[in-house]
Structure 1
Amino acid sequence: MEHAIYPSLAGKRVVITGGGTGIGAALVTGFAGQGAKVFFLDIAEAESRALEASLKDSAFPPVFLPCNLMDLDALSATFARIHESAGTVDVLINNAANDDRHALADVSPTYWDERMAVNLRHQFFCAQAVAPGMREQGRGAIINFGSISWHLGLPNLTLYMTAKAAIEGLTHGLARDLGAHGVRVNCILPGAIRTPRQTRLWHNPEEEANILSSQCLPKRIEPHDVAAMALFLASDSAAMCTGRNYYVDAGWLGA
């Protein structure tokens, strides 16, 4: 595993949602390794506490804040707490999501609302929470997480893909609205990432073989590969990158 060092990230205040496991844990680890002041939100308390403990020797040990992002009052209170204790957020990483499978006939209005809340709605309201401070200081970076899934049209993921498609529109809209204030907004679209959850639930040997045969690069993508893209986009090296989608998919789309 190799990450470039971005001096511009040292000391930056970074908020990462869904930071306790999988890609999120790699993001927390990556930004902590840059000397950033990381706050990460999650509902997976045991895993998040373990990650927090494993990074206690960082220049600025990451801080875990339990938060259910589907609860907008809790979300607002958590961001207020971060601002009170640390000041303006410099980088927001909207990573949290849930890709539970579902059949078309089984979707109820309640389930629809839940899927939109867990995969889409919080990205807007997290951005809304950090935008005033970013505008005031005249700089900031917001990185939303989309997915390759809707571009491929995968089965039993209609609601997840609906939310992820909307996130690309959200990214372009926020980039336009905030660009005049020096705030950059981009979207990362991961491919098939080898996380413990994906391996446990979906990526059996047959599916793994299918993934590898579909990619241009016949090698599994790891969470730290996605973190590498996020570090670049959050840094001053990406100073003129905004309103764009960045794929980390080993060339699956269009292969």
Structure 2
Amino acid sequence: MTRTATFHDLAGKSIFITGGGAGIGAALADGFMAQGAQVAFIGRSDASDFMAQMAEKHGAAPLFLQGDITDTRRLQEAIAQAATVHGPIDVLVNNAANDARHSTAELTPEVWDQLQAINLKAYFFAAQAVMQGMQTKGSGAIVNFSSISYMMGQAGYPAYMAANGAITALSRGLAREFGPDGIRVNALAPGWVLTEKQRATWATPEALAAHLEKQCLKTHLTPQDLVDATLFLASDSSRMMTGQCMVVDGGVVVTG
């Protein structure tokens, strides 16, 4: 990870990330640890290799709490465990998502519910779990990962697009409700970020060229681009920014 900025106020802060052991989530955990934060994350898969890498790099490993975010009880238990170890959560990053392709004609109620449980329901109940601690402290930041897919009107994954539009709406509602408690809630909408999963699954030369044509900036996004944006939204550098959806996509969509 290239350390492009230092946010001094994040040192020592208690950070909780959903899906923090791979892809963008792993880069986020690395980025917060580089700021001196205390990081905990939940994920389904074993994260031993990642933990070892972080311990070697930072001198300490993040707190890994294994679990499925669609299991609301386990998700909220993990947040409570992290708060016990690191103190009440200062920053929640709802990052975990599933952008599996699916057609409208073939989508079943069961798959719809599963996708909403991952891409939306877990976001709400993670936020619910951190609110009391943030209210007691009178401060806190929540960063909810959305996507530009719904802004573009993409085809091929309607349940995912619906969830991401809802994430932006949810962020605005929570920002209004909990702003008086000093809690900030923002959405972050990435463009196409070339993680290992994306490269292995959908990033054909033709698809990459077509998407790059839509960008103003002719460089593909990397996880680090999202780390920098998330650190900014988590820190006091954005202390008067809430209820917003910040786009990081190289200039595909236009907001405002």
Q: TM-score normalised to the size of structure 2?
A: 0.96
CA contact (8 A) 1:37 1:61 kept: no
Q: Given residue 137 of structure 1, which amino acid in structure 2 is its aligned partner?
A: K
2:130 aligned with 1:142, yes or no? no
The residue aligned with 2:128 is: 128
Q: Give the secondary structure class of the aligned counterpart of 1:194.
A: coil
CA RMSD of aligned residues (A): 1.2
Kept in 1, the 8 Å contact 2:14–2:83? The answer is no
Question: What displacement does 1:51 show?
Answer: 1.4
Give 5+ residue unaligned stretches, structure 2.
none
Is residue 53 from structure 1 mapped to residue 52 from structure 2 by the alignment?
Answer: yes
Consecutive aligned runs of 4 or more in structure 1 exceeding 4 Å deviation: none
Which stretch shifts more, 147-156 or 75-84?
Answer: 75-84
Over residues 88-130 of structure 1, what are the superposed CA-to-partner deviations in whole Å (9 max), with x where a residue is unaligned? 0000000000000001111111111101001000000000000
Q: Which residue of 2 aligns with 1:118?
A: 118
> What SS does the corresponding residue of 2:181 show, helix, strand or coil?
coil
Q: Distance in 2 between matches of 1:59 and 1:232?
A: 24
Looking at structure 1, the residues matched to 22 and 166 of structure 2 have their Cα atoms a distance apart, in angstroms, of 24
- The one-character-per-residue Cα deviations of 1:176-234 (angstroms, maximum 9, x if unpaired) are 11100101101100001000111111110000001111100010100010010000111
Instruction: Map 1:1-20 to 2 at 5 A.
Output: 1-20=2-21
How far apart, in 2, do the equivalents of 1:77 and 1:212 lie? 41
Query: Residue in 2 aligned with 1:182?
Result: 182
C-alpha contact (below 8 Å) 1:17/1:96 kept by paired residues: yes
Whole-Å separation in 1 of the counterparts to 2:175 and 2:142: 9
Note the C-alpha offset of 1:86.
2.4
Q: Which residue of 2 aligns with 1:21?
A: 22
Q: How does 1:93-242 map to 2 (within 5 A)?
A: 93-242=93-242
Asked whether the 8 Å contact 1:32–1:59 carries over to 2, the reply is: no
Alpha-carbon distance in structure 1 between the residues aligned to 2:13 and 2:84 = 16
Contact 1:36 1:60 in 2 (8 A): no
After TM superposition, give the deviation of residue 60 of structure 1 in Å.
4.6
By how many angstroms is 1:64 displaced?
1.2
8 A contact 2:42–2:75 mirrored in 1: no
Q: Deviations over 1:3-31 (max 9, x none)?
A: 20011000000001011111111101100
Question: Which residues of 2 match residues 22-37 of structure 1 at below 5 A?
Answer: 22-37=23-38
- Give the distance between the partners of 1:178 and 1:168, measured in 2 at CA: 16
Question: How does the TM-score come out when normalised to structure 1?
Answer: 0.96
For residues 237 and 76 of structure 1, what CA distance do their matches in structure 2 show? 28
Deviation for aligned residue 1:61: 2.6
Task: Confirm or deny: 8 A CA contact 1:13 1:36 kept in the other structure.
Answer: yes
Aligned residue-pair number: 253
When residues 243 and 254 of structure 1 are mapped into structure 2, their CA distance, relative to the original with a 3 A threshold, is closer
Greater shift, 52-61 or 239-248, is seen at 52-61
